[in-house]
Amino acid sequence: MKKYRLGVLGAGNMGLAIARGAVQAGRCLPADILLMNRTPEKRAARAAEGFAVTGDAAVLYGSCEQVVLGIKPQIFDAVLPLLAADLPKEHPLVISIAAGVSFEKMEALLGADCPIIRVMPNTPLLLGLGASALVKNAAATQGQLEEVRALFGAMGMTVVFEEEKMLNEVIPYNGSAPAYVYAFIEGMARSAQAHGIERGQALELISKTCIGAAQMVLQSGKAPAELIREVCSPGGTTIEAVKVLEGAGLNAILAEASDRCIARAYELGR
């Protein structure tokens, strides 16, 4: 029996949020979770929260029932062979949150019998408002998938895909999408400042409006196009702004941005 229920290899913002989410959801105690950080300062900070800590990736891999790979995709080739070099009798369930790194690549480094579930989360998970997409490899069981889904479901909503490629295709719409929203909020805030509105007031007004508008989409049962028409009175103010967005090709801009995001995900997987 493994010593820890959950391990996080690379406990940065997202990895730490997953560990904390597991605790808040009552799925683990902090002492049941082993976090790996390279720096003593970070290990000390996590230990102060009650988590077990280590600086050794191989120790973590051999000691945990489930292991979250929170490291950057670019260093998988260097790190994963170290884990497999001292292979435990039984693989942990590997949960990868790395964009673009395929099952094929991970199985080549860890073994085809290693159960792996890929997850594409997003940063609102830090607030318990995440939107995560999941898919399992052939070695992972349906029960393991449901267990991981429950973990991420405690930190937001989840969707499960049958095909692995969908984890690349979905990135612009959940994993990367918060950045687009932040860019929109920043642009609107700058415009508001130019019109004499204090920045703090502008950020609060715009952010609350974004939250409210998103809830309207989720709760009203109406399509976004219908909601737009309801705000745009003929000859009014909003219709003038929407004409500018349409004239600038907003839909085409978003489509191109999403296509580039997806293309990069496939590049990372090669």
Give 191-204 pLDDT, tens digit per residue: 999 999 999 999 99
Q: Report d(CA 146, CA 150) in Å as an integer.
A: 6
> 119-147 b/e with 16+ CB inside 10 Å = b?
bbbbbbbbeeebbbbbbbbebbeeebbeb
Residues 131-177 pLDDT 10s: 999 999 999 999 999 999 999 999 999 999 999 999 999 999 999 99
pLDDT at 86 (0 to 100)? 67
pLDDT at 21 (0 to 100)? 86
Please tell me the pTM assigned to this model. Answer: 0.90
Cβ proximity of 117 and 143 under 8 Å:
no
Q: Which residue type is seen at 42?
A: K
pLDDT at 173 (0 to 100)? 97
- Residue length, the chain? 270
pLDDT at 100 (0 to 100)? 87
pLDDT at 82 (0 to 100)? 84
Query: In terms of C-beta density within 10 A (0-12 exposed, 13-18 middle, 19 or more buried), how is residue 92 classed?
Result: buried
Tokens encoding 128 = 């318990």
pLDDT at 87 (0 to 100)? 61
Rg (CA), the chain: 21
Q: Which residue type is seen at 265?
A: A
Nearest CA among 144, 139, 96 for reference residue 121: 96
Q: Report d(CA 122, CA 85) in Å as an integer.
A: 31
- Which CATH number is associated with domain 177-268? 1.10.3730.10
What residues of the chain score a pLDDT lower than 50? none
Residues of the chain with CATH 3.40.50.720: 4-169
Cβ proximity of 158 and 149 under 8 Å:
yes
pLDDT at 200 (0 to 100)? 98
The residue with tokens 């085809």 is: 112
**Non-local CB neighbours of 220 within 8 Å, separated by 6+ positions:** 227
pLDDT at 37 (0 to 100)? 87
CATH 3.40.50.720 is right for the domain spanning 4-169: yes
Tokens encoding 48 = 């102060």
Residues of the chain with CATH 1.10.3730.10: 177-268
